[in-house]
Structure 1
Amino acid sequence: MTAHAIDTYIDGQLVAPSAVQSWEARRAQAVLKKLTARVGALGVAELLPGVDLSALDTTDPRAVRDVLVTLKSNLGHAGLYAILKRELALSDRIARIAVTASRGGSTHCGIRLVAADCSASEFGAWFDDLTATDAETDMIAACPDHYLLRGLPDGRQEVVETTGGSPTPTRFLVDYTTGRNASIPTNPDYPVQIAGQAVLDDGLVVGGVRHQFRDVNGAMEALLTVEFPRLFPSRMITEHRWHLATEFGNWIDAFRQQRNQR
């Protein structure tokens, strides 16, 4: 591993950074196309003043990321709710059906990252702080499929995102006080744990997360795992591994940059 690198393992196999970047670029273009089509030319001019989308270098992930963050931020929570209203209603119904049909069973989606120049405890604290301080820009910038991520006054996190290979975005809340109830096993070799249950507004549990971190030979090793109802489509589970690789890779980069600026 070279300095500042992030090695991503999917199905136990090391994947090239370019593969993760290609996934992010594809999803970024899809999300940008969706949002700009829905607000129209006049809306784009209002939300992205001075930005010429025809001149945007779509091969530059940072450039597209910045445009998406600006667009989502200027739309605001209410604007995003309005644009995604029908899709969120549909995904809510689908999630409820999947939970009922799964009869309490679950399936897991996981990857492993190894990040140089990174401390498990420091990164874990930084990540926790994203929700505690409601750092929305850092949260939504990490993945193009993040439409809205914010910390709520009760300590939970509201998430509106396209999960894996789902055709529609979904909305849920992550309650990090209930991580002990997640079905994802705890690995005692990983002392830093970030875990919680994903619930709908009425408290129905639709999934969970358990992200586990440790320091190994000067680098941080992360086991990143998401729990879904057992009968969720397999493609959705498979694609979500790339979502995890993208968001945590970008979060790790953001952590390192902010730490080095202190």
Structure 2
Amino acid sequence: MSEEEDRVVDEQWRTRRGGVETSLRTSAVWAAVHDIVERRAAELGRPLRVLDLGGGTGGLAVPIAELGHDVTVVDPSPDALASLSRRSGERGVAARVHAVQGDADSLAGVVGADPVDLVCCHGTLEVVDDPQATLSALADVLAPGGSLSLVAAQRLAVVLARALAGQFAQAEQALTSADGRWGSQDPLPRRFDADALRAMVEQTGLVVDAVHGVRTFSDLVPSALVDTDADRVALLRLEQAVADSPQFAFLGQLGSAVHVLAHR
């Protein structure tokens, strides 16, 4: 990266490290969502209406609300929503964060006649009953020009992780199984391949803008090796360098998650 890009990464790290919305696990996704929010708000000249399906305790919703936008979090867990309410109150954005207990089937009733400008579905598609139906429900509540930010667990990452742990049979099962699981004890109901996820989003009628892997290295590096600010900044730079370099795009297939950005 150039000296200016290095400066930006350092500034982003210093700005975000203390916030609940960012960490090594979330910084790349947050940067992309932040860019969408800022651009769309400038186009519309007003605060955005945002829907976060499965947003739980507000790790994404509260930072978006802090930017001045209205966020509705739909989640089936009353405990998570209670934590969300506490967090939004502590951060002074309770008036802009709305907690609704529900799931994808209830989105139309939650949104009503006014479609939303941004839909976020991060770490949720893995656990819903019908991923394709959920994506269709998300697409249906988007306004024209509205965006979807979708993050889901990626298959090849767990294959690599199981192999490096010496669990070769589990790695093979994750590689060849239809759902990307390594066995009956796997905590996730399913994982996705990037191309398949793109096709699922396109099936809803949305236009895919970008598909990229995130957390290529962060989930593989032992925490003891990133226990200083300098280590974390260096790892964040490495992750961003991979994301920014087309010649290394193939490494994104090893990211723990895949991030799909699309629009109506």
TM-score after normalising by structure 2: 0.26
Higher normalized strand content (fraction of residues): 1
If asked which structure has higher relative contact order (CA below 8 Å, sep 6+), I would say 1
- TM-score, reference length from structure 1: 0.26
